[in-house]
Each structure stands twice: as structure tokens, then as C-alpha cells.
Amino acid sequence: MRSVTRREFMNVSAAGAAAVSSLAGRSRRVSANDRVMVAVIGLRGMGRVHVSRLVEVPDAVCASLCDVDQSMLERESKKVHDATGQWPKMVKDFRNVLDDPSIDAVVIATPHHWHVPMAVRALRAGKDVYLEKPGSHVFREGRVLVDTVEETGRIVQHGTQMRSSRVTAKARELLDAGVIGDVRMSKAWNLQRHKHRKPVPDAPVPAGVDYDMWLGPAPERPFNPNRFHGYWNWYRDYGNGDIGGDGIHDLDMAHFGLAPETHPVRITAHGSRVHVEGVEREFPDNMMVAHHFAEGKVLIYEDRAWTPYGRYGVDSGNAFYGTEGFMVFSRRGFFQVYLGRKEEKGPSMGVGEAVRDRGKGAHLSNFLDCVRTRNQPLAPALQVHRSCALVHLGEVAYRTGKVLEFDPETETITNHPEANRLLTKEYRGPWSL
């Protein structure tokens, strides 16, 4: 297939933008036989993964792409055209996507600081939302997301795709049957070796990038390459560090295994830098968090950002501890049960398999099915809030160095005013919630 010229690209892009309607808040009704018209906002990382999946799904159309970086738009639009023979609409301002009545659903795969500001606007515009993890940048955003879903009746699916894995479903079946007794504690770990950059001076904004829109609700500051593509997660203005970057997957599974009834009531955390030196990073390179729940359950999280090895053979995993045994579970796609004093092996799934089930394609399919049926997805808004709360409360406990007392009913930290203020943040310009 021949390559696409820049002039052809720009002509199609202009035509797509001109076709966008100003009928904000309206969305067409999707029938059971319709193909879901999807827009992807944010085209790096998981955004381009979603584009690749959408062009292979027969019951959906990758109808529109949005990114502040022209080079990302060109690359992913050509991918859609090469796979389907059709050009998607191409826009830089996500509000044009929300104003388009032909779009049924949006996938939001931007930096974290944009997740909820975009999601609530999409929900109010009548769109269903597949929201990449973590679903919120700060704690209060999770509550706003839940309330907006209740107000609008729209669908939200969180990008914690192991919720759709066959391994997860089988583990749930065994846990509910009491295979390890009463589950009283769970542990999540995320153990990796990260690369970081040395400090560099500010620089001109790259050609084709709408940097002001990239910043959005974040504080205004000069462009710096270290705070842009690939590295923004190490800065609190845009990301959540290890615990909210990759760790949310493991925290979500720890919450799944423990199944607490609501938020924790006491949170402790500590962390430090034991390895990373001379690089820009606003988060520790190791962290331990303990969440205590009113019903007597405990959820523990651990990360190390400098090790090439994991635990129980996996870099990302969980252990669910019951009164009769425990289960080692990994989002790499397997679990193994150990029973009794001698830790005899019990039921397992996926152990030793070359290809392990991680639920990725099934999670998107679950979302598209729910867009049609209006059923709730496997990772709905309330679960977004409860899982992401573990990220935010752990981070606040680490930053303040305090044992936090939390009231799940009022969603406030009751023993530390400064910590309570860290549950939310200020938003720049017109991007408040």
C-alpha cells in the first residue's frame, strides 16, 4: 500500500474537522446491531494500543483520533487507513470530539492529569468512556467521576484489564467458594527497573505540538523534554509515580482479592530513594503502604523501581492470605493456591503456560458490549474510585509522613488538615471540574 502524502493527510484532517457538529451533549443511540463509533484521545502508550485493537474489532469503528502532537495524529491515522481503507477524523482539541454527534464512545489515554477533566466532559456530552488507569489524578476526582456517571447514566470502564481475564474470573470463583478460607489480608507488589533522565534545560516546544493544551489543567511552566513524552509520570503535576503508573494494576487486583466493603479507615506509608541519584523524579524509588479497613482487613502495597527481579517469579503480582491458605496471583496471567501449614499446592491456572491471559482484548470488548446493552462493565466508576483511592491515600500518607485516619462516609482525612487538602488540587484556566 502506497504511503500517504502530507497534503493528503492535511486535506482529510481539515475535512474531518469541518464536519464536526456543535451539538454538544447529544449522542446517537447505539442499537444491538450497530457498530460503535469510537474516538481515541491520546495516541501514545496505551492510546496506540487501543487504536491497533479497534481496527481489528468488527463491531466498532475507530472513527476519530485526537492528540495535541501532530506527529502522533499522522502516525495513528495512517495506521487506521492502512488497516481499514478509511481515514478517521483528526483533531487536536478534544472538545471537537465531544461536540461530534456521530461519536458514541471515547477512549481516554492521556497523561493522568487530563483523565477526569476529559472524562466528566465526555460523560456530560453523552459519550461513554473507556478511561485508562489510573482513573483519577487526585482522590476527589474519583468522587466527581462517580457522581457524574450517576447524573448522566453513561458507562465508564477503567483500564484495569485483568478484571476481564479468565484467570481473574476463575480466581474469583475459588475465593468465593472459600478455597483459602476467609481472606483477611492481601498484598500487591510492583518490582521493576526504571530508566530516568538527568536534568536538562527548558527548550522550545516541538513543532506541531499544542503545548498549552497538553498542560491543560496543570500549572503553566516552560516546556522541558523531561516533563513530556515518556517521562511525565515522574512529576506530580501530570502523573502519580510508580504506585499510580503501573502499581494501580496490582492494587486493583489486591482490592479484588480482599473485597473490602468501602475505603480504608487508617493508612500508613513510607518510602525513600535508595538507588536513583542525579535524576529528576518527584517520587520515591521504593514505597510501602498499609491500608487498614473497618472490617479488620489489611491491604499492603510495595514497590521497588530499581530491581531486575520480582517475587514468586513475577515483577507484578499479589498474594491473597486466608485463614486456610493463600493464593499467589499475577496479572501476567496465572495463580497458584497453597494450603495448610505445609503450603501444599492446591488449584492453579495458567502456571507454566507460554501465552498467559491478561484480559486486554476482552476488556475492550466488555466495554463495547456495555455501550450497546447499557449493562455495567467489569471495572465501573465506583470500582475506579475505590481502587484509585488506594493510590492517592498512600501517596498522601507518604508525603505527610503521618498515620492517616480516614472517614469513608464523608471521604475526609479527620486527623490532619494538611493531608486532607492534598485529596484535591487546583486547576488551571477553564479546566476545573
Q: What is the pTM of this model?
A: 0.92
List all residues 6 or more positions away from 410 whose beta carbon is below 8 Å from its beta carbon: none
pLDDT digits (tens, 9 = 90+) for 18-63: 333 333 345 567 766 689 999 999 999 999 999 999 999 999 999 9
Place of cell 502508550: 45
Among 231-245, 249-263, 353-367, the least confident range? 353-367
Q: Which pLDDT score is estimated for 228?
A: 96
pLDDT of res. 28: 67
pLDDT at 157: 98
Q: State the pLDDT at residue 72.
A: 97
Indicate if the pLDDT at residue 5 is higher than 70: no
> Which of 381 and 7 is assigned the larger pLDDT?
381
- Position 20 scores a pLDDT of 34
pLDDT band at 359 (very low <50, low <70, confident <90, very high): confident
Residue 7 above 50 pLDDT? no
Rounded to the nearest integer, the mean pLDDT of the chain is: 91
Asked if 268 and 291 touch (Cβ cutoff 8 Å), the reply is no
pLDDT tens for 264-287 read 999 999 999 887 666 678 999 999
pLDDT at position 312:
83
Residues 192-204 have a mean pLDDT of 88
In percent, the amount of the chain with pLDDT more than 70 equals 91
The contacts of residue 85 (CB under 8 Å, 6+ apart) are: none
Confidence of residue 10 (pLDDT cuts 50, 70, 90): very low
Q: Please report, for the chain, the start and end positions of each structural domain, with discontinuous segments joined by +.
A: 6-161, 163-357+381-421
Per-residue pLDDT of 288-299, as tens digits, reads 999 999 999 999
pLDDT digits (tens, 9 = 90+) for 145-192: 999 999 999 999 999 999 999 999 999 999 999 999 999 999 999 998
163-357+381-421: CATH topology: Dihydrodipicolinate Reductase; domain 2 (3.30.360)
CATH number belonging to domain 6-161 = 3.40.50.720
Inter-helix orientation angle 139-152/115-124, to 10°: 10
- State pLDDT tens for residues 202-226: 999 999 999 999 999 999 999 999 9
